[in-house]
Chains A and B, each alone.
Chain A
Amino acid sequence: MSTMPAVVAVHTFREAVRDRVLYNLIIFALMMIGGAILVGEISIGVQQMVIVNLGLSAISIFGIIMAIFIGVGLVHKEMEKRTLYSLLAKPIRRWEFLVGKFAGLLLTLLVNTALMTLGLTAALYYVSRTFERSEVAILVAVYFILLELALITALALFFSCFSSPLLSTLYTLGIYVAGVFALDIKGVGEYTQSPAMAAGARFVYYLLPNFHNFNVIAAAAHGETIPFTLIWHNTLYAALYVILILVAASAVFSGRNLK
């Protein structure tokens, strides 16, 4: 098996670190410290819940911003710096380059998310002075955020294969927002009581990447158990969708005239 995607992935990760992408962790750390102290002062009985909500939401928001804004530049930046041409002159296929870029950004997001999770755990410990078993749900929520980020990264990469960074950002954001409200789109179709509208809305619902699947922040904040079957179903869902997008991206990128 070719090791090229792994090489590209490591380089992408290093480049992200060099670009000081992980500086967002400082903001996150400040937020967590501030939040933990402030919540202790102004609320009664819900400190832990607020910290979990704040921490998981921040992990998700920071991750999404990174996935979109770095993802849309993955291909474009290489073209702009003209490094792509010398790279593709080497024995590397275009799809391998794409998969490597995807994996590299995912690795960056993984490291970033892992460090933020550590920060969240520390803030939680500061507030409650103990770790409870129900906090495993927080780790599941973080894992779901990572799955969500993988999907967003794949989408951003796909659009960056044929569009400018600005348009790619808009497309990715658009799909993300639509995916978050996928359930509502289906609901609106059902409320209209028109079979055609309902069928259309249902089609859109299944077509869009359903980001609602990955949002278990409220359940994690309430210490609910997230079933294992849901975890592996969501994993499979994200994996299939990422494969689909990467296959489509490869088809588009392989036909692109880079001259």
Chain B
Amino acid sequence: MSTHTLKITSHVRSVALAVVAVPLLFVAIAALQARIDVLSAPVTQDKEELVLRSASLLKKLSLGYDPLLADIYWTRAVQYYGTRLQNRSGSFELLAPLLNIAATLDPKLLIVYQFGGIFLSDHPPGGAGRPDLAVELVKRGITANPNEWRLYYNLGFIYYTRLKDYQKASRAFLEGSETPAAPLWMKFMAARVAENGESLETSRFIWAELYDSTKDESVRKTALEHVQELDAEIALKRLNQVSEVYWKKFGRFPTSMQELRSAGLVEGDLNDPAGYPYVMGPNGIPQLDPHSSVKIESQRKP
């Protein structure tokens, strides 16, 4: 056999071995990796550390790539928030520092203030429950981007929904309405909040606006839940009034929705936003169906 033939045979043998062995080894490695994932979880889990908390130092260390680093920190903040939310672990200790670093690295990164403010201000377990820090963050955003009407909206939103400070909320909406690209309804919202801050309708309007103005699925989901909750509350409030009319008319409370219908006090569908019919509770107080996915604050389990 010639040297050339020997070389070819050796090469064919090597390739044949690789063709058979490489896929088999990959399968074995994948199976092993799945096992290592389970074993290493307690050892390699994140130690909840943010080694460099100084945003200005990070800005210097980024060697001019600070916008990229800001994107990375923003992504890290979203991942941190998402993971904590998924695990229902409650504490969002590092959320504010992560958002602050992202905002310092790129003060024009509006998304940090917009969604960061919502993540920070939302009640636990859905958020950090720190509306004070959220206000601070959004105000930073306004200082860096004074013409962004959305940031004023976000600030007003936090004052309104989380801090129940209707005067400050109204002022934020009004200031926002004076920015160049602000929509007309900002003025209307400022007036409405100042006039009747506590009304359910105003609250619904603000949540519905958040729902319409964002493309982020998680924020839309939260906003929709609040809109549905407020719709249900508005409907229950109206049915309660009807129930009182019934009591005045018949000297007793209705025991079912059908009785209200038969008395000609209500008509049409009496379903909540999830499609479940409202039910009559004790003493003529209308309630949500226990199976309904809509939950209002008074019926929410602790």
Using Cβ atoms and an 8 Å threshold, which residues of chain B touch A187? 79
Q: Is B15 an interface residue when CB atoms closer than 8 A count as contact?
A: yes
What's the nearest-Cβ distance from chain B to residue A144, in Å? Answer: 10
A240/B32 in contact, CB under 8 A? yes
What's the nearest-Cβ distance from chain B to residue A26, in Å? Answer: 26
A248/B18 in contact, CB under 8 A? yes
State in angstroms the CA–CA spacing of A229 and B32 once bound together. Answer: 12
B15/A251 in contact, CB under 8 A? yes
Q: Is A143 an interface residue when CB atoms closer than 8 A count as contact?
A: no
9-residue interface stretch from A3-11, A165-173, A213-221: A213-221
Q: Is A227 an interface residue when CB atoms closer than 8 A count as contact?
A: yes
Chain A 238-256, CB-CB to B under 8 Å as 1, else 0, gives 0011011001101100110
Chain A 200-227, CB-CB to B under 8 Å as 1, else 0, gives 0000011100101101101100101011
A222/B47 in contact, CB under 8 A? yes
Using Cβ atoms and an 8 Å threshold, which residues of chain A touch B21? 243-244, 247
B14/A206 in contact, CB under 8 A? no
Q: Is B277 an interface residue when CB atoms closer than 8 A count as contact?
A: no
Q: Which of B11, B33, B39, B217 contacts A230 (CB 8 A)?
A: B39
Q: Is A69 an interface residue when CB atoms closer than 8 A count as contact?
A: no
Q: Is B29 an interface residue when CB atoms closer than 8 A count as contact?
A: yes
Which residue from chain B places its CB closest to the CB of A255 in the assembled complex? Answer: B11
Q: A187-B79, A247-B18 are in contact. Are A241 and B43 (CB under 8 A)?
A: no
Q: Is B61 an interface residue when CB atoms closer than 8 A count as contact?
A: no
B47/A218 in contact, CB under 8 A? yes
State in angstroms the CA–CA spacing of A207 and B22 once bound together. Answer: 11
B15/A255 in contact, CB under 8 A? yes
A216/B22 in contact, CB under 8 A? no
Chain B 7-40, CB-CB to A under 8 Å as 1, else 0, gives 0001100110111011001101110111110011
Tell me if B's interface is mostly helix, strand, loop or mixed: helix
Using Cβ atoms and an 8 Å threshold, which residues of chain A touch B79? 184, 187, 191
Q: Is B82 an interface residue when CB atoms closer than 8 A count as contact?
A: yes
A237/B30 in contact, CB under 8 A? no
B29/A226 in contact, CB under 8 A? no
B14/A244 in contact, CB under 8 A? no
Using Cβ atoms and an 8 Å threshold, which residues of chain A touch B19? 251
Using Cβ atoms and an 8 Å threshold, which residues of chain A touch B10? 93-94, 254
Which residue from chain B places its CB closest to the CB of A93 in the assembled complex? Answer: B10
Interface positions of B (Cβ within 8 A of A) = 10-11, 14-15, 17-19, 21-22, 25-26, 28-30, 32-36, 39-40, 43-44, 47, 49, 79, 82, 217
Interface positions of A (Cβ within 8 A of B) = 93-95, 184, 187, 191, 193, 205-207, 210, 212-213, 215-216, 218-219, 222, 224, 226-227, 229-230, 233-234, 236-237, 240-241, 243-244, 247-248, 250-251, 254-255
Task: Other than A216-B44, A222-B47, A244-B25, give 9 A-B pairs with Cβ distance below 8 A.
Answer: A193-B217, A213-B44, A230-B39, A234-B36, A244-B29, A247-B21, A250-B18, A255-B11, A255-B14
Residue contacts A-B, CB under 8 angstroms, 26 given = A93-B10, A94-B10, A187-B79, A193-B217, A206-B26, A206-B33, A213-B40, A216-B44, A218-B44, A219-B44, A224-B43, A227-B39, A229-B39, A230-B39, A230-B43, A233-B36, A233-B39, A241-B29, A244-B29, A251-B15, A251-B17, A251-B18, A251-B19, A255-B11, A255-B14, A255-B15
